[in-house]
Amino acid sequence: MWAKALTAPATFGSVEVPRPGAGQLGPGQVLLKVLAGGICGSDVPFFLGTPGRWEPAGNARSAIGRPGFPMHEVAGTVVATTDPAFEPGQHVVGWATAFDGMAEYVVTDSASLSGYDAPVAPEQAVLLQPLACVLYAVERTGDVTDDVCAVLGLGPIGLLFAHVLKNRGARRVIGVDRVDRSDTARDFGIDAPHWAATGTWAAGLAADARPDVVVEAIGHQASTLNHAVHAAASAGRVFYFGVPDDPVQTIDMDAMLRKNLTLMAGGTSDRRRMLAEADAYLRAHPELFALTVTHTFGADEVQRAYDLAVTPAPGRLKVVVSLEPGP
């Protein structure tokens, strides 16, 4: 089967590798024909050459040469399964759990997949996976009814956070990004978009203008997490959504202590339930497909897709790759 693989940092090539078979499936696994994949911000450091952060301790290795890597947001059809919850031919969406979804076929854990009812193409269906992560994070954050919420970073994840927070009852949603998102911010429920660096915005806040909830949807570095801490109101909540490039980061614990803040972070658990909730949410808000998925590339355009995805820009949100080879 065909797959894409990094041949050097930020450089993809095509490879031929053995196709996995149904006989190779363990308990609770699915053999999936991948039809589409979405590029996530957590894929980008691997693309750029960062060593694998989620390898076993002491066994970190480069992403270079690994077939299908890095891509974990996938939609496709079931070829074979050991989980009775699925059947061959069924359309599913979710996680390629080994981050190897940029290939014709992939084996993944069935608990990380769900069928979907929304009548959309696979290139749109992949949006259910990041939305499932956002819904889970907002669920963990707790009741936001009548809260003032701020989202730092208005990429696809940040804008989905804004939409969900507004629909969960936030009184006011603030959005902050170095990229001008004024063209689409209000479509996602943002009442006050700010085109600014997060540190500059946080430093300029008056005491009575500090948000009750701050979502850091940028990830990768400690500075923006501390901007969220500095921005939050007394007794506020901070959710750190992004994946850090470095496993140990420094946080302003003096501000955490004096402001009685709650800091939350974490990955998505109960994935099948959250994917089902994302499906229901998108059926209720179908406009999000067209608003969020702004660029789609073919299987032979993976390099172009990643080159575009690594740099935030006005008008560019979710970048998706259709992995069905053309005629």
Give the 3-state secondary structure percentages of the chain, helix then strand then coil, rounded to 5: 30, 25, 40
Q: What DSSP letter does each residue of 77-99 carry, written as one string?
A: EEEEES-TT--TT-EEEEE-TTS
How many Cα atoms occupy the beta-carbon half-sphere of 114 within 13 Å? 20
Please answer whether residues 151 and 217 qualify as being in contact, where contact means their C-beta atoms are separated by less than 8 angstroms. Answer: yes
Domains of the chain: 2-127+271-322 (3.90.180.10), 131-265 (3.40.50.720)
Taking only the tens place, the pLDDT of each residue in 104-113 is 999 999 999 9
Taking only the tens place, the pLDDT of each residue in 61-80 is 567 889 999 999 999 999 99
Instruction: State mean pLDDT over 76-99.
Output: 97
Instruction: State mean pLDDT over 132-144.
Output: 98
How many angstroms separate the CA atoms of 74 and 264, rounded?
A: 27
How many angstroms separate the CA atoms of 198 and 218, rounded?
A: 10
8-state DSSP, 316: B
Residue 324 pLDDT grade (very low, low, confident, very high; cuts 50, 70, 90): confident
Torsional sign, CA 277, 168, 270, 291: positive
Is residue 103 packed enough to be buried (19+ CB in 10 Å), middle (13-18) or exposed (0-12)?
A: buried
Q: What are phi and psi of 262, to 5 degrees?
A: -115, 125
How many angstroms separate the CA atoms of 302 and 14, rounded?
A: 10
What is the percent of the chain where pLDDT is above 70? 95
8-state DSSP, 71: B
How many angstroms separate the CA atoms of 170 and 231, rounded?
A: 17
How many angstroms separate the CA atoms of 271 and 35, rounded?
A: 20
Taking only the tens place, the pLDDT of each residue in 10-25 is 999 999 999 999 999 9
Taking only the tens place, the pLDDT of each residue in 188-246 is 999 999 999 999 999 999 999 999 999 999 988 889 999 999 999 999 999 999 778 87
Q: Is 45 helix (H, G, I), strand (E, B) or coil?
A: helix
| Cα dihedral value 79, 64, 124, 305, nearest 10 | -140
Look up residue 150 and give its amino acid: A
Instruction: State mean pLDDT over 288-300.
Output: 96
